[in-house]
A and B are shown apart, each in its own frame.
Chain A
């Protein structure tokens, strides 16, 4: 049995969060828009049109390179990558070649409890291509259409060094990269919607000193498929090597349905892209002030923040991971702590209840009607045992719907805590009478029965009874039954 040396490198494309496309004024929110509704002569590559750099996209790309600790090149040049494909209306893609925005960077990520580093070869800016449509919308039989809406949307391409060795590492580093681009607010990093795309290069060798044939795997649309595709590819290549079959240097596509990779012969065969500097665009000189400005505007990066959360607030790794997935959520969490110094308690409520509501509404915290102060008003009441958790959950749901304050909602709905011992005693009696079996079980030593009876009391009061009082009285009354 051989030892296998696996080497993986990633090429990640992120759509930048600009309002306008890279070289024209067309809008970028193409999802759900009719084909060819967000186009102009420039992004359609019509004769006579010329590209003009969107400085905002350039800033976001520099921001990305900076947060990846890249060395920034002072003179950035755009090259034309020439090839024919129907989704590429100019017959070339404006991209970068030997003078990209940033080189030689790195980033860190956690995988299986360990902190690792991936080196970045380069970060560059380029335009996206259009999309072929093979069915639907008024297409005659046997024909395809082209939708140019996506054409010209700015992409930042991040190429890592082949520093990764396991599918888990590839997946976890990609997740960390996704968190990063979200955190620095350059991309929404959504793999399913294609705003984050990943190709992987993988090679396997039986000897640590030389690499095997490089296989590029494309078309992986989720973190899971990156993991699965690499796992599959490792097994496939191992089998080849074990049977002494040569692994071809090629591009393979991940088939999501059958969970296999398939060779995509033809198109990429030794393609010569004839890169040359785009004469329509002047070299871009990045001023030192701009770099300084961008550096000073960068937020604390997700991994740093995650580690700080774990140390300062004593959160577990999974808790901290969830909180730093989005900068707005992490900011929200920290604002809450300003109002109520109970980080573990707030973290628990944020991760479960806030995220549950956000997911149900399919929005992020910024888009919601909840503010740290309104949320803390609610949590303080739980903390002071003025309301039960159950009630609080109902109120929170209402707060998400209407944006009202917790106390207003309680007043409107007639929710208040029952603190009267007499009233609770009455209900406890009622519950004991109605559930003789559970009482008998409890007396017979079944602790579980107590929880059931407690739950029945809370249910009867629609959660409004003070739970501590209920526990005391229930305990007292049950001992009396003995």
Chain B
């Protein structure tokens, strides 16, 4: 067995192989640990690899006996975890120096669920500091590189998770999506990224950036793995008040394949503006033609407030962040500046030296928006726009079941290309932000390549209608048959051999 054996595996394939005893969890963990050791010095997708923990976990699993009926759904599946999701005893830095020495004393709800389902954690992946960014260049520990082109960014903020799955350092990963942080890196790395409906997955143990927008999502090499992982992590949690009172997602919520063409596809012109790379627009037009030829009904819809969503997001998210990040002040845990003169000095120097530039920018922005005299003008107005954006989607979903949009306005860009201009960087999320503001579920799939760079397609659904999303995405994945990123790509091999 080598990495090529499993490169096209789904979770189901692993499970079948385990049941037939073709290999053991320990062997699989070794396979991926070797892979990480080989590639990660170049990729830098991981901030921390838990070799000992993963191997111990694998051995513990092997000691247990499972029958066919109680075989855990993620038995022996290695998973990479974004470093803003807490695992008991492991470092949890959020990609920030301010949490450089912090280890979480508890498991996030999703971590508990994955453990129970037999999943094995390989380690913690790199990210833009506190999930603020679209390129992983804002990590306090250096950027992750895109496995398809090491000179380009993997996207962000879940860039480490996306790169690790694209390079098959891990078959699947968890990320978090506040304004597109799962979907955009998935698109840049040519894999599947999924953001559930807000409230579908417990946020307990996900370190908050913007509480009303944060949602844990999945990054996988195929649609079926996202569905399987989502099934495990979803469901009500009495430790998160914002978690919806629904049972976990079940594949029985999906639509049978013979009824798939009843799904009405909506297209909103607001997502096909002049700012979009023509390569991307063209590919999506091709896909719409394919769908029409397949007999799908395509409906034009309008989302008139799309243009304002980005601006509103950059009020609401920083406002919440300015408060959520107030706890990093060097008192009870985390980084503290050297020899503070007094309390004020301790706060000021800890925070100005502990946080990176983008985080500080957003804290200042958010603080300003919440300040007395500006609250009504900014925060309240931002929230009103958010309601309008939400209503746009509600209206659209009366006419169609899903919406197809480009995922990003541009292809993966080079390091440094946008990092000097925050606004250009913010625009990279222009198509993922409205759905995040509305709290609706969204899938990002690789719908083709321009030369070797992947093009992301976004599929949006109505709240809690993930079944339709997955059914459609599974179908589309099959008819498009876009290959996942080549794990022996020239970029990777060249760098590694050197």
Contacts from A to B (Cβ < 8 Å): 41, 44-53, 80, 82, 84, 86, 89-92, 146, 148, 272, 274-276, 278-282
CB of B204 within 8 A of CB of A46, answer no
- Given the complex, which residues of A lie within 8 Å of B86, measured CB to CB? 47-48
Kindly state whether residue B246 has any CB partner on chain A within 8 Å.
no
Kindly state whether residue B108 has any CB partner on chain A within 8 Å.
yes
- Given the complex, which residues of B lie within 8 Å of A44, measured CB to CB? 332
Selected contact of A50 from candidates B204, B333, B343, CB within 8 Å = B204
Kindly state whether residue B401 has any CB partner on chain A within 8 Å.
no
A287 to chain B: closest CB distance in Å?
16
CB of B375 within 8 A of CB of A276, answer yes
- Given the complex, which residues of B lie within 8 Å of A46, measured CB to CB? 104-106, 333
A82 to B379, CA, bound (A): 15
A281 to B371, CA, bound (A): 21
Kindly state whether residue B102 has any CB partner on chain A within 8 Å.
yes
A51 to B326, CA, bound (A): 16
Q: Name which of B52-60, B236-244, B273-281, B460-468 contacts chain A.
A: B236-244
CB of A50 within 8 A of CB of B326, answer no
The 0/1 profile, CB within 8 Å of A marked 1, for residues 318-352 of chain B is 01101101110101110000000001000100000
* Chain A residue with the shortest CB-CB distance to B102: A47
The 0/1 profile, CB within 8 Å of A marked 1, for residues 205-239 of chain B is 11110111000000000000000000000000011
CB of B241 within 8 A of CB of A92, answer no
Selected contact of B329 from candidates A41, A80, A91, A281, CB within 8 Å = A91
Selected contact of B327 from candidates A89, A276, A282, CB within 8 Å = A89
Q: Which of B69-89 contact A (CB under 8 A)?
A: 84-86
- Given the complex, which residues of A lie within 8 Å of B108, measured CB to CB? 48
The 0/1 profile, CB within 8 Å of A marked 1, for residues 178-212 of chain B is 00000000000000000000000001111110111
Kindly state whether residue B258 has any CB partner on chain A within 8 Å.
no
CB of A50 within 8 A of CB of B203, answer yes
A272 to B368, CA, bound (A): 11
CB of B241 within 8 A of CB of A82, answer no
CB of A89 within 8 A of CB of B207, answer no
Selected contact of B241 from candidates A50, A84, A86, A272, CB within 8 Å = A50
- Knowing A46-B105, A48-B206 are in contact, say whether A274-B92 is a contact too (CB < 8 A): no
CB of A279 within 8 A of CB of B332, answer no
- Given the complex, which residues of A lie within 8 Å of B347, measured CB to CB? 84
- Knowing A41-B106, A47-B99, A82-B326 are in contact, say whether A146-B331 is a contact too (CB < 8 A): yes
Provide 10 A-B residue pairs closer than 8 Å at the C-beta atoms, listed in order of the A residue: A46-B105, A48-B104, A48-B106, A53-B241, A80-B323, A84-B329, A86-B331, A272-B371, A274-B323, A278-B211
Kindly state whether residue B139 has any CB partner on chain A within 8 Å.
no
CB of B99 within 8 A of CB of A276, answer no
Contacts from B to A (Cβ < 8 Å): 84-86, 92, 94, 99, 102, 104-106, 108, 203-208, 210-212, 238-242, 319-320, 322-323, 325-327, 329, 331-333, 343, 347, 367, 370-372, 375, 379
B237 to chain A: closest CB distance in Å?
9
Having A48-B204, A279-B320, one finds 20 other A-B pairs with CB under 8 Å, namely A44-B332, A46-B104, A46-B105, A47-B207, A47-B327, A48-B106, A49-B106, A50-B208, A80-B323, A82-B326, A84-B326, A84-B329, A84-B347, A91-B327, A92-B323, A92-B326, A275-B370, A276-B370, A279-B210, A282-B242
CB of A82 within 8 A of CB of B104, answer no
CB of B326 within 8 A of CB of A91, answer yes
- Knowing A48-B104, A48-B108 are in contact, say whether A82-B370 is a contact too (CB < 8 A): yes
A89 to B319, CA, bound (A): 19
A197 to chain B: closest CB distance in Å?
23
* Chain A residue with the shortest CB-CB distance to B86: A48
A146 to B333, CA, bound (A): 12
A352 to B347, CA, bound (A): 56
- Knowing A82-B370, A89-B327 are in contact, say whether A50-B104 is a contact too (CB < 8 A): no
A49 to B237, CA, bound (A): 13
A49 to B92, CA, bound (A): 13
A44 to B332, CA, bound (A): 9
- Given the complex, which residues of A lie within 8 Å of B242, measured CB to CB? 50, 279-282
Selected contact of B240 from candidates A52, A82, A148, A274, CB within 8 Å = A52
CB of B327 within 8 A of CB of A90, answer yes
- Given the complex, which residues of B lie within 8 Å of A276, measured CB to CB? 319-320, 323, 370, 375, 379
- Given the complex, which residues of A lie within 8 Å of B105, measured CB to CB? 41, 46
- Given the complex, which residues of A lie within 8 Å of B212, measured CB to CB? 279
A274 to B203, CA, bound (A): 24
* Chain B residue with the shortest CB-CB distance to A281: B241
* Chain A residue with the shortest CB-CB distance to B331: A86
B309 to chain A: closest CB distance in Å?
18
CB of A52 within 8 A of CB of B239, answer yes
A19 to chain B: closest CB distance in Å?
17
CB of B205 within 8 A of CB of A48, answer yes
- Given the complex, which residues of A lie within 8 Å of B322, measured CB to CB? 82, 274
CB of A280 within 8 A of CB of B331, answer no
CB of A48 within 8 A of CB of B241, answer no
- Given the complex, which residues of A lie within 8 Å of B204, measured CB to CB? 48-50
- Knowing A82-B326, A146-B332 are in contact, say whether A279-B211 is a contact too (CB < 8 A): yes
Selected contact of A280 from candidates B211, B325, B327, B379, CB within 8 Å = B211
- Given the complex, which residues of B lie within 8 Å of A146, measured CB to CB? 331-332
- Given the complex, which residues of B lie within 8 Å of A279, measured CB to CB? 210-212, 242, 320
A279 to B198, CA, bound (A): 12
A264 to chain B: closest CB distance in Å?
15
A272 to B203, CA, bound (A): 29
A82 to B207, CA, bound (A): 18
* Chain B residue with the shortest CB-CB distance to A280: B211
A337 to B383, CA, bound (A): 62
- Given the complex, which residues of A lie within 8 Å of B92, measured CB to CB? 47-48
Selected contact of A47 from candidates B94, B241, B343, B371, CB within 8 Å = B94
A52 to B243, CA, bound (A): 11
CB of B241 within 8 A of CB of A280, answer yes
- Given the complex, which residues of A lie within 8 Å of B102, measured CB to CB? 47
A99 to B242, CA, bound (A): 19
* Chain A residue with the shortest CB-CB distance to B104: A48
- Given the complex, which residues of A lie within 8 Å of B327, measured CB to CB? 45, 47, 89-91
A272 to chain B: closest CB distance in Å?
5
5 nearest A-B residue pairs (beta carbon): A91-B326, A279-B211, A279-B212, A274-B370, A48-B86
* Chain B residue with the shortest CB-CB distance to A284: B241
Selected contact of A82 from candidates B84, B211, B239, B323, CB within 8 Å = B323
- Given the complex, which residues of A lie within 8 Å of B319, measured CB to CB? 276
- Knowing A41-B105, A45-B327, A279-B211 are in contact, say whether A52-B372 is a contact too (CB < 8 A): no
B122 to chain A: closest CB distance in Å?
20
B470 to chain A: closest CB distance in Å?
27
B375 to chain A: closest CB distance in Å?
7
Selected contact of A89 from candidates B211, B325, B332, B370, CB within 8 Å = B332
A275 to B371, CA, bound (A): 8
A99 to chain B: closest CB distance in Å?
14
A90 to B324, CA, bound (A): 8
- Given the complex, which residues of B lie within 8 Å of A49, measured CB to CB? 106, 204-205
B110 to chain A: closest CB distance in Å?
11
CB of A52 within 8 A of CB of B241, answer yes
CB of A86 within 8 A of CB of B239, answer no
A279 to B333, CA, bound (A): 24
- Given the complex, which residues of B lie within 8 Å of A41, measured CB to CB? 105-106
* Chain B residue with the shortest CB-CB distance to A36: B332
A371 to B275, CA, bound (A): 83
B249 to chain A: closest CB distance in Å?
21
* Chain B residue with the shortest CB-CB distance to A78: B241
**Residue of B108, B207, B326 ringed by the most chain A CB atoms within 10 A:** B326
* Chain A residue with the shortest CB-CB distance to B85: A48
* Chain A residue with the shortest CB-CB distance to B367: A274
- Given the complex, which residues of B lie within 8 Å of A89, measured CB to CB? 327, 331-332
